[in-house]
Structures are given as structure tokens and as C-alpha cells.
């Protein structure tokens, strides 16, 4: 038997094993496929009654202090309502209470001028979702996001970059909070 014959025999023995592994992987995927449900589907039930999509539309978001809080509230209202495409609902059954804290971390410093070249805005939102009337906490958490920005010697460009970082931080916090609330509202 030559060396090419031995490779042919080994390759022949490997084909059924590959087919068997492929069949096992497809069978496992088919069995696990029934476990997954879309989060925002109309038939995904929530812990507060109805679908998760309907529960998100029933969340009232009062004013939140600060510029990051302002953009956080605006984005949450837009995202929770389904982008404004939702039909008008009755009184809100849930209320989101939130507060935002901001801090600046200096990343790099120009040693010649002693000025910061870049900074990172760290925004921390502490929030809780409560039922109206009973005050029962349905979901709560602390969400942190970072928004880097460049600082320059031109004062107004630095101010604008810092404001853009605050807007980005508010939008990022809204997306993270909305996802966490939706995950917490999913009923068994």
C-alpha cells in the first residue's frame, strides 16, 4: 500500500464522521429553536400583563435633571413608544424614576501647554420602574456609559464637543435602559 492509498483510506473513514457531526449539529439547532422567542413580538407576555411591547408603551417618563437627563428622557419616550408609531393608550401604568450623574475623566494631557487633549464623559443613570398606585418596583438598575471627546485650544469647539458627548451619553443610556427594562418585563 502506497502513501497515497493510506490517505485515501483515512479520508474515506472521515466522511461518515463529518456527516454524523453535521447531522448532530442540525438536530441540536432544531431542538433549541423552539426555546427562543422574539422579545418585542405581540405574543411575548410581560410580567405586568399584556405583551412586552404594550407594557413598554405604558411607561411614563417624567423630567430628568441635567442636559444628559433631558436627552435620556427624550430618547426613552421615543424608544418606549415604538418611535411614535404607537396608537394612543390610556393612562400609564408604570413610571420610570431616574437620576443622572456626570463626571469627566481626563485621558491625555499636552505637557507643553498643560491642557487636556481629550476627555471622557462618564454618565451614570440610576433608575427604577414602579407600578402606579402600588409603588411596587418592577425593574431597577444602574447604567453607566462613557462618551469620549477631543478638547482643543479653541474654547467653543471644546464646549461643543463636550455637549455632543452629553447628547451621545443620553442616547446610549436610553438604549441600554430600554433593553434592560424589556428583558426584565418578559414573563415566564
pLDDT beyond 80 at 16:
no
What's the CATH architecture for 42-185? 2-Layer Sandwich (3.30)
pLDDT beyond 70 at 7:
no
Q: Following DSSP, what letter does each residue of 34-93 receive, concatenated?
A: GG---TT-TT-BBTTSSBHHHHHHTEE----SSHHHHHHHHHHHHHHTTTTTSPP-SS-S
More confident site: 173 or 52: 173
Nearest 5°: phi and psi at 115? -100, 150
Crossing angle of the two packed helices 155-185 and 67-80, in degrees rounded to 10:
40
Residues 162-182 have a mean pLDDT of 94
Domain range list for the chain: 3-33, 42-185
Integer Cα distance of 87 and 110 in angstroms: 54
Integer Cα distance of 44 and 50 in angstroms: 8
Helix (H, G, I), strand (E, B) or coil at 29: helix
Angle among Cα 80, 85, 89 to the nearest 5 degrees reads: 70
Encode pLDDT of 46-66 as tens digits.
777 777 888 888 899 999 999
- Torsion, CA 77, CA 82, CA 88, CA 94, rounded to 10: -50
β partners of residue 184: none
Name the DSSP class of 113.
T
Integer Cα distance of 168 and 185 in angstroms: 26
Q: What is the pTM of this model?
A: 0.74
Encode pLDDT of 148-168 as tens digits.
998 888 889 889 999 999 999
Residues 89-100 have a mean pLDDT of 87
pLDDT for position 4? 52
Taken in order 61, 63, 64, 67, the sign of the CA dihedral is positive
β partners of residue 129: 96, 139
Amino acid at each position: 500500500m502506497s502513501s497515497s492509498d493510506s490517505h485515501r483510506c483515512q479520508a474515506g473513514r472521515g466522511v461518515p464522521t463529518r456527516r454524523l457531526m453535521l447531522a448532530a449539529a442540525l438536530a441540536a439547532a432544531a431542538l433549541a429553536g423552539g426555546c427562543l422567542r422574539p422579545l418585542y413580538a405581540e405574543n411575548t407576555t410581560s410580567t405586568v400583563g399584556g405583551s412586552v411591547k404594550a407594557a413598554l408603551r405604558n411607561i411614563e417618563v417624567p423630567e430628568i435633571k441635567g442636559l444628559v437627563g433631558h436627552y435620556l428622557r427624550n430618547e426613552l419616550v421615543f424608544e418606549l413608544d415604538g418611535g411614535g408609531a404607537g396608537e394612543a393608550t390610556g393612562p400609564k401604568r408604570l413610571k420610570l424614576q431616574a437620576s443622572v450623574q456626570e463626571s469627566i475623566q481626563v485621558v491625555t494631557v499636552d505637557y507643553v501647554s498643560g491642557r487636556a487633549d481629550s476627555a471622557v464623559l462618564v454618565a451614570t443613570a440610576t433608575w427604577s420602574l414602579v407600578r402606579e398606585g402600588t409603588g411596587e418596583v418592577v425593574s431597577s438598575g444602574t447604567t453607566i456609559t462613557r462618551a469620549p471627546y477631543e478638547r482643543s485650544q479653541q474654547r467653543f469647539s471644546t464646549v461643543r464637543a463636550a455637549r455632543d458627548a452629553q447628547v451621545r451619553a443620553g442616547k446610549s443610556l436610553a438604549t441600554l435602559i430600554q433593553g434592560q427594562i424589556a428583558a426584565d418585563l418578559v414573563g415566564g
